[in-house]
């Protein structure tokens, strides 16, 4: 079955069936990454371009590894080494890349909506790898895969998303995807970091960390985006940490089987303490491992499903 869209721009556009298909496909691909020869011929002859105008460790690397494990040719272009530094527009950049016949473009950009804009000018499928504060759909999918791998089912779970909700594309993509899958979401943080419009998204809003996490199945801790805090929204990082850093102490009323996830990169000691990060509840590195499988699944379902064998 094909996905309902040829682009992955937003989790809003993914149906429950789409998400289940992506997670099931990712599950079937996990084993390839454990083989001695971590490669299958599924996307041989396909070309993937990763176009990253913002820094990235996890997302860019895992899209590259995912493409290579499926035998696609993968080309990485960073904003700083592209001709946009000489004044070429983003649209012209994408149209010139498309003139070389790639099969898919993966785009990260600091401006919300940049990947959606490009999708109107190029025919190749586009995957949004994070645009401003807007969306990061492949991150939400790997988060769901990580939770489902532990819990078996997603329907009926309760998740608290804690931290800098205002600037978080991860929060926005996850809220939509989690609600589609029947998960109840609570967002937690100081008032300046939770815009008022979030109450219209069907989520609970809490400013009390301990109370909010006492009966949830999963806590997703978000990075305080130090580079986006110039508006003076927080009086000090120390004060933020006093109230919202996830510590062993703050978990004292939480469930024994609580799962802790974080999209990375982590500010150790600001939004999560070192001991919690390294505890048995933490799935932070599982998320990174699952990121490769999710991105393999997205490439396969967008490009190879019609004419390829997953093994």
Instruction: Give residues in contact with ligand CP (CB under 6 A).
Output: 56-59, 130, 136, 139, 263-265
Tokens of 308: 């390829």
Residues whose CB falls within 8 Å of the CB of residue 122, separated by 6 or more in sequence, listed in order: 94, 95, 97, 98, 105
Give 158's strand partners: 184
Residue with Cβ nearer ligand CP (56 or 286) = 56
Backbone torsions φ then ψ of 170, nearest 5 degrees: -65, -40
Q: 206 with 188: CB under 8 angstroms?
A: yes
Q: Compute the least distance from the CB of residue 287 to ligand CP, in Å.
A: 8
Minimum Å gap between C-beta 132 and ligand CP is: 13
Nearest to ligand CP of 42, 138 (CB atom): 138
C-beta of 76: minimal distance to ligand CP in Å? 13
CB of 60 to ligand CP, least distance (A): 6
Q: Closer to ligand CP by CB, 170 or 259: give it.
A: 170
Where are the extended beta strands (E) located within the chain? 47-52, 73-78, 104-109, 126-131, 158-162, 184-188, 204-206, 218-221, 259-261
Q: Cis link prior to 265 (omega < 30° from 0)?
A: yes
Closest distance of CB 64 from ligand CP, Å: 11
Q: How far apart are CA 172 and CA 183, in angstroms?
A: 14
Residue among 57 and 248 whose Cβ is closer to ligand CP: 57
In angstroms, the CA 140 to CA 173 distance is 6
CB burial class (10 A; 0-12, 13-18, 19+) of residue 105?
A: buried
Pick between residue 42 and residue 139 the one whose CB is nearest to ligand CP. Answer: 139
> Smallest distance from the beta carbon of 307 to ligand CP, in angstroms?
30
40/106 with CB nearer ligand CP: 106
DSSP output for 63-109:
HHHHHHHTT-EEEEEEGGGSGGGGT--HHHHHHHHHTT--SEEEEEE
Nearest-approach distance from CB 59 to ligand CP, in angstroms = 3
Distance CA 269, CA 290 (A): 25
For ligand CP, the closer of residues 62 and 93 by Cβ is: 62
């Amino acid at each position: 079955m094909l996905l309902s869209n040829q682009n992955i721009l937003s989790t809003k556009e993914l149906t429950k069936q789409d998400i289940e298909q992506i997670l099931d496909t990712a599950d079937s691909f996990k084993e390839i990454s454990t083989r001695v020869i971590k490669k299958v011929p599924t996307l041989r002859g396909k070309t993937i371009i990763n176009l990253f105008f913002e820094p990235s460790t996890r997302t860019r690397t895992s899209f590259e590894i995912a493409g290579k494990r499926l035998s696609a040719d993968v080309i990485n272009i960073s904003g700083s080494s592209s001709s946009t530094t000489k004044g070429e527009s983003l649209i012209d950049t994408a149209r010139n890349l498309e003139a070389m016949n790639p099969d898919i473009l993966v785009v990260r950009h600091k401006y919300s909506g940049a990947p959606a804009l490009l999708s109107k000018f190029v025919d190749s499928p586009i995957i949004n790898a994070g645009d401003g504060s807007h969306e990061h759909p492949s991150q939400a999918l790997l988060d769901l895969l990580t939770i489902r791998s532990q819990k078996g089912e997603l329907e009926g779970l309760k998740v608290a998303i804690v931290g800098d909700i205002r600037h978080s594309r991860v929060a926005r993509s996850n809220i939509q995807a989690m609600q589609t899958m029947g998960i109840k979401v609570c967002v937690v943080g100081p008032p300046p970091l939770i815009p008022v419009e979030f109450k219209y998204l069907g989520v609970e809003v809490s400013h009390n960390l301990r109370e909010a996490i006492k009966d949830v199945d999963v806590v997703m801790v978000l990075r305080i985006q130090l580079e986006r805090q110039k508006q003076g929204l927080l009086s000090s990082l120390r004060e933020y940490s006093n109230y919202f850093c996830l510590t062993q102490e703050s978990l004292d009323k939480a469930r024994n089987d609580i799962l802790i996830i974080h999209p990375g990169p982590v500010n150790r000691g600001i939004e999560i303490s070192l001991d919690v990060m390294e505890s048995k509840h933490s799935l932070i590195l599982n998320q990174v491992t699952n990121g490769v499988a999710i991105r393999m699944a997205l490439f396969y379902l967008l490009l190879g499903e019609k004419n390829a064998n997953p093994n």
